[in-house]
Amino acid sequence: MFLAGMVLQGASFAQQISIVPEPAEMTMPKTAAKYVINSNTKINLVGSGLEESASFLNDYIQKVYGFKLAVVPNGKSAGITLSYEKQEYRYPGAYRMQVGNKGVNIAGDNANGVFYGVQTLIQLLPTEGSKTALQIPHVNIKDYPRFGYRGMHLDVSRHFFDVNFVKKYIDYLALHKMNYFHWHLTDDQGWRIEIKKYPKLTEVGGWRNGTIVGRYPGTGNDNIRVGGFYTQDEIREVVKYAADRYITVVPEIEMPGHASAAIAAYPELSCFPGEATKKYVPENCAWAGDSTGKQVIQSWGVYDDVFVPSENTFKFLEDVVDEVIALFPSKYIHVGGDECPKTNWKRSEFCQNLIKEKGLKDEHGLQSYFINRMEKYINSKGRTIIGWDEILEGGLAPNALVMSWRGEEGGIAAAKENHEVIMTPGNFVYFDHSQTRNEDSVTIGGYTPLEETYSYEPVPAALPADKQKYILGAQANLWTEYIKNPSKVEYMVFPRMSALSEVLWSPASKRNWKSFEKKIPAIFNRYGKWGSNYSKSYFDLKA
C-alpha cells in the first residue's frame, strides 16, 4: 500500500509541472526525485550582467517564502547556477535549464534568456507544503520565444493607477515572459505624464470630478476630485524598473483624437477654443475644477474636441514628443490615431482651407496628413511610430507600425504593404470584456472567455507567406472605463494574461487547450501566492 502510494505520488507529481507559458521542449527523467532549495542554497553567477536575474529570484523567494539566498559571483558550488551559452534563435531570450541532484543550471543565450530561465524556475517552486525546504522536480528544458513582441497595455487615463501598482503590473508581465508594456498615458479623461513645458496638462488635464454621467452612472468614483499623474522622475523610475525585467515601455500620446483632456488645459489646441473653454466647466459637483473652473470630461466615449491641425498644435506636439523621447528609450512611440471624429474639422474654416491648400481629398486625408507630419518629426529623432489601425485611413505613414484592434483586417492590409504589425483584435485580447456570462461587476461589454484568448493565432491564415514576418506579435489591451482599482485590474487580466503568454511564447505545435486546462489549478495557486485577485469564472463555465 505504502509503496504503491509512493509511486502514484511520483507519477502525479511529474504531471504537476505547470509552466506557463509552456516551454518549447521539456523532458522529465523517470524519477520522483526532487532538488531542495533552502536558505543555504547559493546562486552562482558565471559571467557578468546576471545580477538582475538573481535579485528577481531572491525578491520572489523572499516575498513568497520568507528567506533569501546568497549570491556568489563566479561561484562554483552546488546550488543554482546562472550562466551563458550561445543558442541560435530568431529572438532574444532563449535558455536551457536542467534540474538534477546537484542543483539547477540555467544557461541563457543572453542575460534576457537567463532572466526567462529564472521565471521558469519560479514556476517550479511549490505552492503548497514546506516554506523552508522548497522541493522542485528534476527536469530538462530548452526554451525560446515564438514572437518578438509580447505585449500588455494599461489605460491609466480613464482611471489613474499609481507607480506602485504600475510596477506590480510590470512584474506580472515579467513573470509571463512578456517584453513590451504599452502605457496609455493620455486620453479624454486624463493626461497622466508631466510635461515641463506645458504644466497645465497635468494641473488641469490630470483631474476630473469622479462622478460619471451618461452610460452606467454610479460606476465612477462619486462627487470628488479624482485623477493623478506621473512626474518625470517617476516615469524614469518605471522605465528603469521595466528595463531591469527586459521589458520595453512604449508610451502612447493620443492624437489627433482622444485629446480633450489636453484641450481642457489648453483650449487653443481645439478648432473652436471659445466653445472648448466653456465646455470643460463642470456643474453641480463638490469639486468644480481648478481655479479657472476647468476640469476634464466626466463621461466615457469619443468626443468631437480633437486637435486642430494648426502650426501651433504641431509645435505643441513636437515639444511634448521631445520630452517623451528623452524619457523613453523605446524605439517605438505610439501616437494613437484611433477614433478621431471629423465633425469639428468639417465645420472649421481653417481645416477646410488646409484641405484645399494641401490638395487633400477630405478629412480622412487630413488625418493622414496629421499622422504623416508627426511621423516625420518622430523619425527625425530616430524613432518609429505606432498607430491604431485607423492610421490606414487616407494613406499609411511610410514607416508606421500598425496595431490592429478592429479585428485583423487593418493588420492584414498593413502587412501586405510591408508594414510591421502588432495584433490586438477585440474579440480575442480585449481584457476589458467580460470573461463570464455571469459577470458580477459592470464591464464595458463584449464576452471574451479564457478559451477564446487561448485560441488566438496572431498570424492570419489569409496573409501570404512572404508577408507573415511583418506580424511581430500581439498584445492584450486593458481599457479602464469600468476598472477603477488595482484589484479589478487583476480580476480582468487573470487568468487571460496567462493564456495570452502561451499564445505569444510557446511554439504553435505546443499550444493545446486541454493541457492548458490541466494547469489552471496550479496557475490559480500561484496567483494566490502573489496575493493577486483573479477571475474564477473558468470554473463557473465548467459547472
Q: State the residues that interact with ligand TNX by CB under 6 A.
A: 338-339, 388, 405, 430, 432, 444, 479, 481
Residue closer to ligand TNX by CB (options 109, 481) is: 481
DSSP class per residue in 227-254? E--B-HHHHHHHHHHHHTTT-EEEEEEE
Smallest CA-to-CA distance from 110 within 133, 91, 131, 138 is with: 91
Smallest CA-to-CA distance from 332 within 113, 181, 501 is with: 181
| CB-based contact 377:400 (threshold 8 Å) | no
Smallest CA-to-CA distance from 429 within 234, 202, 174, 149 is with: 149
| CB-based contact 47:114 (threshold 8 Å) | no
Pairing of strands 95-100, 139-143: antiparallel
Residue closer to ligand TNX by CB (options 408, 432) is: 432
As measured in angstroms, the least distance from the Cβ of 224 to ligand TNX is: 23
Distance CA 318, CA 328 (A): 15
Give me the sign of the Cα torsion angle 528, 532, 537, 538: negative
| CB-based contact 153:478 (threshold 8 Å) | yes
DSSP letter at 307? B
Distance CA 141, CA 208 (A): 51
As measured in angstroms, the least distance from the Cβ of 292 to ligand TNX is: 27
HEC secondary structure over 346-384: HHCHHHHHHHHHCCCCCHHHHHHHHHHHHHHHHHHCCCE
Strand-pair partners of 245: none
DSSP element (H, E) containing 155: strand 149-155
| CB-based contact 537:530 (threshold 8 Å) | no
As measured in angstroms, the least distance from the Cβ of 540 to ligand TNX is: 23
Q: How far is CA 37 from CA 99, 124, 231, in A?
A: 11, 11, 41
Distance CA 363, CA 306 (A): 13
Smallest CA-to-CA distance from 458 within 417, 505, 496, 419 is with: 505
Question: Catalytic annotation on 408?
Answer: no
Q: State the amino acid at position 377 in one-letter form.
A: Y
As measured in angstroms, the least distance from the Cβ of 339 to ligand TNX is: 5
As given in the structure block, the three cell numbers for residue 40 are 543555504
Residue closer to ligand TNX by CB (options 119, 448) is: 448
As measured in angstroms, the least distance from the Cβ of 464 to ligand TNX is: 26
Distance CA 305, CA 264 (A): 10
DSSP letter at 213? P
As measured in angstroms, the least distance from the Cβ of 389 to ligand TNX is: 8
How many CA atoms, within 13 angstroms, populate the side-chain half-sphere of residue 371? 34
Cα dihedral value 240, 243, 248, 252, nearest 10:
-10
Among residues 85, 234, 318, 339, which one is catalytic? Answer: 339
Q: How far is CA 221 from CA 186, 227, 289, 294, 456, in A?
A: 19, 10, 16, 19, 35
Smallest CA-to-CA distance from 485 within 152, 162, 229 is with: 162
Smallest CA-to-CA distance from 295 within 308, 310, 285, 309 is with: 285
* Residue the block writes with cell 472648448: 276
Residue closer to ligand TNX by CB (options 53, 443) is: 443
As measured in angstroms, the least distance from the Cβ of 430 to ligand TNX is: 6
As given in the structure block, the three cell numbers for residue 125 are 517552486
Residue closer to ligand TNX by CB (options 241, 430) is: 430
Which residue is nearest to ligand TNX, using beta carbons? 479
Radius of gyration (Cα) for the chain, nearest Å? 25
As measured in angstroms, the least distance from the Cβ of 185 to ligand TNX is: 13
Task: List residues with catalytic annotation.
Answer: 339
